[in-house]
Structure 1
Amino acid sequence: MKIVSRIFGIIAIFFAILFCSMSIYRAGIDKDKAEAELTEAKQQIEQFREQAKTMTGETKAYLDGEIANAEKVINEAPKGSTYLIVQIFLGVLLVLSLAFGYFLFRPNLNTVTKFVAAAVIVTLIVYFASPDIARGKYSGLNSRTLALLSGIPVIVAGLFAFLAAKKAVVKVA
């Protein structure tokens, strides 16, 4: 059973490394896109404000309403620091998956138990910290879904490391 746990643990670690690295890369791309779109939107709002100064009547009221809606969207948009925090926690998940690879072959039940609990907590943090931006028809996975897909293989790898450590403790006793 220990060999089976190690084999499945290694497979889970490969998936964890793949999804964590994809998520880190995706968060970086999303950060760059968001910052570029925000600066462009702010420039457009300034242009609309200049145009609104010269207008009167219903057109001015309509333009002022659109400007207010655009400013609301800009203020609610995720900041670059949010993506940086998500990247840091995804890096922690990546390191935890590598640690589980170590613990598959050097079992330590107490440490593995603590690391599995840490992996669950970090997965929840990454999930809730990831911006929930609806994706278009062809734009790929939602950031929260990708964060969940990154955390689950890490937790599974931790569980297999836990099983390997549990078998090692039973064998010694």
Structure 2
Amino acid sequence: MKTTVRILGVFIILLILFASAASIWRAERDKTELRESQAAIAEAQQSLALLKEEAKNMTGESKVQIESQIAEAESDIKKLPAESTFTIVQVLFGSSMLLSIVFGVFLFRPNLKSSKTLLVASILLLLATYFISPDIDGGKYSGFSRRTLALITGIPLIVVALFAFWIAKKKNAESLRSGR
């Protein structure tokens, strides 16, 4: 049973490494696109300021429509994440890659105390990555949102952590039975 869990664990680690690398690349691409669109965002904010001034002079239903469109555009601009958010997400996905390699070692060299601690760390890492990732839907060519990518990376990481913990617990029980 241990051998099967180890083999399955290695395949899951490869999945984690691939998903984390893809997520890091995606965050870098999004950060670059955000940096390139800063001029357009500044121009849109200036246009909104001009529209606000024009809306003050309007009356009736057209004023209400313009004000609602301005409010919607301003809320969309405020929803844009900062570049630092993407950098933090990249660091968290890099940490997922590192943890998966560590769990790969623990699959073959069990350590109960470290496995337990890193299991908790992997759960916290999943939660942090999920909630820090910008909640922007996937684009035309990429179907996954950033939060979905966090789940695709984090859940297998927790599974591998559980495998490493289970193997360490089993080895600890065997050593207690044999008296070592």
**TM-score, normalisation: structure 1:** 0.85
d(CA) in 2 for partners of 1:121 and 1:114? 11
Structure 2 contact 52–70 (Cα < 8 Å) conserved: no
In structure 2, relative to structure 1, the CA distance for the partners of 1:54 and 1:144 (3 Å cut) is closer
The number of residue pairs the alignment matches comes to 173
The structure 2 residue matched to 1:104, chosen from 93, 107, 110, is 107
Give percent identity, aligned residues only.
38
Q: 2:43 maps to what in 1?
A: 43
5+ residue gaps, structure 1, are none
Give the deviation of 1:70 after TM superposition: 3.0
Bigger relative contact order, structure 1 or 2 (CA pairs below 8 A, ≥6 apart): 1
Q: 1:13-162 residue pairs with structure 2 within 5 A?
A: 13-46=13-46, 57=58, 66-67=69-70, 69-136=72-139, 138-162=141-165
The one-letter amino acid of 2:167's match is: A
CA distance in 2, matches of 1:48, 1:164: 60
Give the whole-Å Cα distance in 2 for the aligned partners of 1:89 and 1:153: 15
1-structure distance, mates of 2:9, 2:112: 15
- Aligned 8 A contact 1:135 1:141 in 2: yes
**Secondary structure, aligned partner of 1:113:** helix
Per-residue Cα deviation, 1:121-142 (whole angstroms, up to 9, x for no partner): 0100100111111235544211
Deviation at 1:81, TM superposition (A): 0.8
Deviation at 1:63, TM superposition (A): 6.3
The residue type paired with residue 14 of structure 2 is: F
Structure 1 position 4, deviation (Å): 1.4
| Pair 1:170 & 2:173 matched | yes
Deviation at 1:101, TM superposition (A): 0.5
Aligned mates of 2:124, 2:48 — CA distance in 1: 45
CA distance in 2, matches of 1:107, 1:51: 65
Matched residue type, 1:14: L
- Please give the alpha-carbon distance, in whole angstroms, between the structure 2 residues aligned to 1:139 and 1:160: 31
What SS does the corresponding residue of 2:37 show, helix, strand or coil? helix
Offset of residue 27 of structure 1: 1.1
**CA–CA distance in 2 between the matches of 1:170 and 1:9?**
21
Rounded Cα–Cα distance in structure 1 between residues aligned with 2:94 and 2:35 = 22
Query: How far does residue 36 in structure 1 lie from its aligned partner after superposition?
Result: 2.4
The Cα shift of 1:42 comes to 1.5
Does residue 6 of structure 2 align to residue 6 of structure 1? yes
- Matched AA of 2:96: L
Partner-residue secondary structure (3-state), 1:134: coil
TM superposition shift of 1:30: 1.4
Query: Cα distance, 1:71 vs. partner?
Result: 3.4
Is the contact made by 1:38 and 1:74 (CA closer than 8 Å) also made in structure 2?
A: no
Q: Deviations over 1:47-77 (max 9, x none)?
A: 565688799657x957676555433322221
With over 3 angstroms needed to count, the CA separation of the structure-2 counterparts of 1:27 and 1:127, relative to structure 1, is same
